[in-house]
Structures are given as structure tokens and as C-alpha cells.
Structure 1
Amino acid sequence: MSTPQEAREFLVSRRAKVTPDMVGLPAGGIRRVPGLRRGEVAVLAGVSVEYYTKLERGDLRGVSDEVVGAIASALRLDEAERAHLFDLVRHANARTRARRRTPARTDVRPSLLHLVDSITEGAAVLGNTRSDIVATNTLGRALYDPVFRSQPEPVGYPRFIFLDPASRDFYPDWETVADASVASLRTVAGRDPFDRSITDLVGELSTRSEAFRTRWARHDVRLHIQGVKHMRHPMVGAVELEYNVMELPADVGLNLTVYTAAPGSESQEKLTLLAGWWISQESGRPLRQEPVSG
């Protein structure tokens, strides 16, 4: 993945989203392209038009943090977009030999697996930067059974979302989930544009899925920290789950996501049923519960 090309396309895409009235500027007649002109961004950021033009062409070498911050403010970048721009600048100024990075991790320390298994009230999923599911507790495995059935391990969310038609049944709000998946992957790619495992995944999905390719071209980014996930599980029907993502300082490249349901809710009852169903699957005993449509 080319950092200059990524920088150029990202800055152009963000500039197109800012209208003059958003920053207190007059419209100034007919505009050939949506959003601000380069000169307007330069004025707002306090740099020359020539200098900003150089940056937007992808040449981020030597740009200071102050200038990056000023451009981020001029383009009204949110927290995720600002961090992404700083990542692009950091990699543009990194020495070539410092660009070699470890591929997405799939190894897990035994004590970390014990931690995942010890979570009993929620679905715990250990993931890596490529959005692979590296490990789960019992409930996590049950919750994401359709994902595990869709591909050989290690399974990944993006491949399920964009390559398996079953994902549109599993995610009632598929469009939103698809947008978030690509934006999260774009964010990770910006942090480590030389991770071959990520660039290979992006290449595969871009080739095989128009839905992915269209979203990737938008250059949207996102911080995947917390939120609400809606799923329609083939065994228990519709569930609404809150999720929180935790970084693991002792295991760089891995994160822990825990899905929980509101206490006393129907979704909590369904999680209990789901856990029982999976245990019965593992033990070979059929559960007396018919699949529910939701």
C-alpha cells in the first residue's frame, strides 16, 4: 500500500466533504469539485497554497506536527481521521528499514486464553489487527458460529461480511456493519501500511467484492472502541448486544472484545440459550430448542 497515494487520496476525499459554509467562507461562485478549494484549506491551515498542494500530492516528508494539526482542523477531521493523518505522516518519514512489521498475530499466551475463558457473562472474542478471530470463550464461539462455518480458520469478519451471503441475514443492519468493517480496516492499514497480511486481505476483498471496493475508495476511517451490535443468530433469533474493545498492552497486535446484553433483557435470555446450545453441540447432545426467526 503506497503511503503517498494513500495520503493524496485521503486528503482529497476529506477536502471534498467540507463545504465553505461549514468553515465560514463564502461559496465563491460555481465550483468544479465539491468541498473546499486547495487555496481555502491553505488559508485555514495557515500555510501557503504551494505547500498544501505539495502535501495533497502525497509528499508528507518533513511536515511538522503543528502543520498536520492545523490541516486536520481546517478539514474538520474527527478523532479517527486526525489519528489516521498523523499515521500517514509518521510512515512517510520513517526509514525504510524501520518499515518491516510483524504480520497480524495468531499466537496467544496461555494466561491470556485463561482470561478469555474466565469471562462467563459475556461473549469474549480475541482478535488481531486483520480482524481475524484468534480465540473465544464458549459464548463467543456460539455467537459467531455462522462466521466459523463460512471459512477455514483463522476466520475473519471482513471475509464473512463481504464474501458470504449469509452475512446479510446475520447482520440486520448489514450496510452499517459493512461500512464500519472497511473503515476499521482502513484505520489499521494506515497504522501499518507495510503489513503484508493486511494488504493481501485488502487486495483479495477488492478483487472479489464490489461492495468492499466501493467502500475502500471512500477512505473512511473509524476507531473501533465500543458500541451496539445487532445480530440475527440462526439458533436464537435477533439479539442486541453492547460491546467494548480493550487493547492489550502486553500483547501488541491483539485486542479483546466483550459482548454483553442488558441485564434482564430478552437478549440476555437468548445468550443463555446460546451458551447451552453450544455446550450441547460440543457434547453431542441435541438441545431441545428449535431455531428461532427474529
Structure 2
Amino acid sequence: MDAKIALRDFLVSRRTRLNPDDVGLPAHGARRVPGLRREEVAALAAVSVDHYIRLERGNASLVSDAVLHAVADALRLSPGERRYLRDLARPDRHDPAPWGPVPADGPGAGAAGPRVRASVRRLLDTLDGSPAYLVGRDGAILAWNHLATRVFVDFAEIPAERRTIGWIVFTDPRARILYLDWEAKAHETVAYLRSVTGRWPHDAELARHVAELRSASADFDRIWSELPVLDITHATCRLRCPAAGAVLELSWETFQLTDNPEEIMVAYTAAEGSPSAAVLRDLARVECPSGQGDGQQ
């Protein structure tokens, strides 16, 4: 991904969504295009117009952190959007491959997938009442517990190169049945990928993954063009679980489970005493097929 182009597109999209009334400015006459003008953003940020134009053109290396913060305030950016702006403006702060080459024989996501520690797998398995899985940088499902295969899909049956949140949500027809609010899940998935591409803009594999999804799914391409950025690390969702013939109301949390900042665990829970908790207990009692409950192939 070209960080300069991404920075330009992001800033333009964020000033376009604001009207003068939103920020306490008078609206002078008709506007040919929606949103704030560049000079209005500059005035709100208390910087020169030239300074802001330089930033919007992607020349962020010439702009101080103080200016970035001021522009973020002027554009009313959310915490997630602020992180995205900072990542695009300061891409050299992130090593594109901080952990060196990925082992080629890891058991987590197939022959070409990264290695997942046995202790991490055991930890996932201890969550026998909560469906949980480990996600990599591009949304790859690296490891999972047995209950996750009962609530979602049997990840072991999906080819490793397609075993990502993006491919499942946008190309697997079961996802539109599973997620009652599929559109919200779709936006969340794109927002996650948008955020990580901002953090690692020079990652060729990540860029390739996004390009393939844009080509494979018109819905992904549509939402990607809206430039959503992830702001949440926990939420609630409603899932239609075919294995149980029931709708589950679950909360999910994300955790950085390992010392690798690229790996995140996502765990789902149901309120104690709720019908959804009872369904999860019943699903957990179903015998786990050998070698499929913890991400092993």
C-alpha cells in the first residue's frame, strides 16, 4: 500500500464528512463539493494552509506530531482514526517484519503458516465454555478451540490460504447465515484490515490479501472504499448457530495473547444463566474430532 496515497484519501474522506455547522464555522455560499475546505481544516487546526496541504499530499515527514494532533482534533477523529493517521504519517515506526522470517513448518495455519506455541494452544483449549481463536496480522485464523468450530465453522476444513476472517466473511455463504447483522460484521472486518494496513503499509503480502478480497467481493470493495477504521476491541453480537438450531447472544473481547503484536486472541462469552450460555455448554459436550479442536490439521 502506498502510505502517501492512503494518507491523502483518508484526510480527504474525513474532511468531506464534516460540514461547517459541525465544527462551528459559518457556511459561506454554495459549495461545489461536500465537506470542509482545506483552508477551514487549517484554520481549525491553527496551522498554515500550506502546512495542511503538505500533509494532505502525503508529505507527513515534514509535519510535526503537534500538527498531526491538531489536525486530528480539527477533523474530530475517533481514537482508532487517530491511530490510523499516526500510522500512515509515521510508517517507519513499525518494522514490517519485526519477528523475522515465518517458519515454514508451523502447525497453526498449514504448511505456510506461522508457528503457534503449544502453550497457546493449551490455553485456547482451557476455554472450553468460550469459543475462541487466534488471529494473525492479515486476519488469518492461526489456532482455535473445539467450541469455535461448533459455533462458527470447522476451520480445519478450509484451505489454509483461505482461512482468514476476510475470506470467510465475504466469500463463504455460511457467514451470511451465521451473522445476523452481516453488514456490521463486514464493516468490522474491513475496518480491521484497513487499520493493520495503516500500521504495516509496506507489507506486500497484506496488500496482496486486500487486493484479492477487493477483486473477489464487490461488498468488500464497496466497504473498503468507505475507508472505515477499527475503533473497537470488544462488542456484542448475535449469531445464528446451525449446530444448535439457536440464536446466540455473545460478547467478544480481544487480547494480545503472546509477545507478538501481530497475534490477537478473540474470545466469545455468554452472560451467566442466559439461554446462550446453556447452548454453549451443550455444544461443548459434543465430542471433538481428533486433531481438529485446537487448530491442528
TM-score, normalised by the number of residues in structure 1: 0.88
RMSD: 2.1
Q: Partner residue of 1:74?
A: 74
Q: Using a 3 Å threshold, how does the CA distance of structure 1 residues 260 and 148 change in structure 2: closer, same or farther?
A: same
Give the C-alpha shift of residue 240 in structure 1: 1.0
Match of residue 172, structure 1, among 157, 170, 180 = 180
The separation in 2 between residues aligned to 1:80 and 1:243, in whole angstroms, is 18
Q: 1:205-224 counterparts in 2 under 5 A? A: 205-224=213-232
Question: What secondary structure does 1:256 align onto?
Answer: strand
Which residue of structure 2 aligns with residue 88 of structure 1? 88
User: Could you say what secondary structure the match of 2:134 adopts?
Assistant: strand
Map of 1:131-170 to 2, 5 A cutoff? 131-145=139-153, 149=157, 151-153=158-160, 155-170=163-178
The within-5 A match list for 1:114-129 is 114-129=122-137
- Residue 162 of structure 1 deviates from its aligned partner by 1.0
* In 2: Cα distance, 1:169 partner to 1:28 partner: 49
Q: Structure 2 vs 1, CA of residues 240 and 282 (structure 1 numbering), >3 Å: closer, same or farther? A: farther
Aligned to 2:37: 37
Counterparts of 2:155 and 2:20, CA distance in 1: 44
Which residue of structure 2 aligns with residue 25 of structure 1? 25
Q: Cα offset for 1:281?
A: 5.1
Count of residue pairs brought into register by the alignment: 278
Stretch moving more, 117-126 or 208-217: 117-126
Determine the structure 1 residue equivalent to 2:5. 5
User: SS of the residue aligned with 2:25?
Assistant: coil
Q: Does 1:231 align with 2:239?
A: yes
Moved more, 245-254 or 10-19: 245-254
Q: CA deviation at 1:175?
A: 0.7
Structure 1 range deviating more: 68-77 or 226-235: 226-235
Q: Supply the AA of the counterpart residue of 2:114.
A: T
**Partners in 2 of 1:110 and 1:117 — Cα distance?**
11
Q: Which amino acid aligns with 1:243?
A: W
Quote the sequence identity (%).
38
Pairing of 1:246-265 with structure 2 (within 5 A) = 246-248=255-257, 250-265=259-274
Higher relative contact order structure (alpha carbons within 8 Å, sequence separation ≥ 6): 2
Using the alignment, how far apart are the partners of 1:98 and 1:107 within structure 2?
20
Distance 1:280 1:79, change over 3 A: closer
How much does 1:215 deviate? 0.8
Whether contact under 8 Å (2:146, 2:288) holds in the other structure is no
Assess if the C-alpha contact under 8 Å between 1:3 and 1:193 holds in 2: yes
Shift in Å, 1:100:
5.1
Gaps of 5+ in 2: 103-112, 292-297
Q: Distance in 2 between matches of 1:164 and 1:248?
A: 27
- Describe the SS at the equivalent of 2:88: helix
Q: Distance in 1 between matches of 2:95 and 2:114?
A: 22
Once the two structures are overlaid, the 10-residue window that deviates more, 210-219 or 191-200, is: 191-200
